[in-house]
């Protein structure tokens, strides 16, 4: 195996010396681009990014590799954005626009990310007073998600043994969920109010605190 590899290397060196390095490099770029396209199609973004960057290492002006890498970075920025990773999304989309500065989708996403970061700064600056509401919302959402799983589990169990006790439990849980959803909606209204009105910047009246708004019956 080692002997065969040495022969291949020797042949490449001979071709390079004889002026055939250009065609070989072009062939290698095409291979990398093809592998990048295949990875992007799956999709396997890390693999696609690696292949396109290897192609650009051989030819930094290669249009195919630049377009492919731009798309990879754009798609990764979308994933980061959905997962609330704004800083990572901003970095990815900035890199994407370096390779495809006129891409409409990338420009639109960049604008959306920029607006989200501005809103985040406003929220963070107001956070001290309404942070307790955010802390109350998270477990409520988790509780609702768990209740939904219980309902699905009981309905599925009924389909197996046809015991109506499963349906009874699902019904009771659904009523509890309705109450919890109502309480969550009220908390979210209060939460939104502080974010949009900027009340959190104001000084709370003596003897009054934001947490008093949280225990909603």
User: Percent helix, strand and coil across the chain, each rounded to 5?
Assistant: 85, 0, 15
Instruction: Give dist(CA 216, CA 85) in Å, integer.
Output: 31
Q: Full-prediction pTM beyond 0.95?
A: no
Instruction: Give dist(CA 134, CA 128) in Å, integer.
Output: 11
Residue 197 φ then ψ, to 5°: -95, -20
pLDDT for 130: 57
pLDDT for 171: 94
What are the boundaries of each domain within the chain? Answer: 20-102, 126-213
pLDDT for 127: 65
Start-to-end CA distance of the chain, whole Å, equals 76
Which 8-state DSSP code applies to residue 214? S
Architecture in CATH for domain 20-102: Alpha Horseshoe (1.25)
Contacts of 99 (CB under 8 A, 6+ apart): 66, 67, 69, 70, 73
pLDDT in tens, 81-106: 998 889 999 999 999 999 999 999 99
128 within 8 A of 189, measured Cβ to Cβ: no
pLDDT bracket for residue 71 (50, 70, 90): very high
Tokens of 132: 């307790």
pLDDT in tens, 124-147: 776 665 566 677 788 888 889 999
């Amino acid at each position: 195996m080692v002997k065969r590899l040495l022969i291949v290397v020797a042949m490449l060196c001979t071709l390079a010396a004889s002026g055939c390095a250009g065609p070989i490099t072009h062939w290698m770029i095409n291979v990398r681009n093809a592998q990048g396209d295949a990875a992007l199609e799956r999709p396997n973004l890390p693999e696609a990014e690696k292949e396109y960057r290897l192609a650009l290492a051989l030819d930094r002006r290669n249009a195919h590799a630049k377009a492919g890498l731009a798309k990879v970075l754009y798609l990764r920025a979308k994933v980061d954005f959905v997962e609330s990773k704004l800083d990572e999304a901003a970095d990815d989309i900035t890199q994407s626009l370096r390779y495809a500065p006129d891409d409409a989708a990338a420009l639109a996403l960049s604008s959306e990310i920029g607006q989200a970061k501005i809103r985040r700064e406003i929220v963070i600056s107001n956070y001290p007073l309404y942070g307790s509401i955010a802390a109350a919302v998270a477990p409520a959402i988790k509780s609702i998600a768990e209740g939904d799983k219980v309902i699905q589990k009981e309905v599925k169990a009924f389909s197996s043994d046809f015991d109506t006790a499963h349906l009874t439990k699902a019904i009771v849980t659904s009523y509890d969920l309705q109450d919890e959803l109502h309480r969550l909606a009220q908390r979210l209204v209060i939460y939104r109010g502080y974010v949009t009105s900027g009340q959190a910047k104001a000084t709370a009246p003596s003897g009054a605190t934001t947490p008093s708004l949280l225990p909603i019956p």
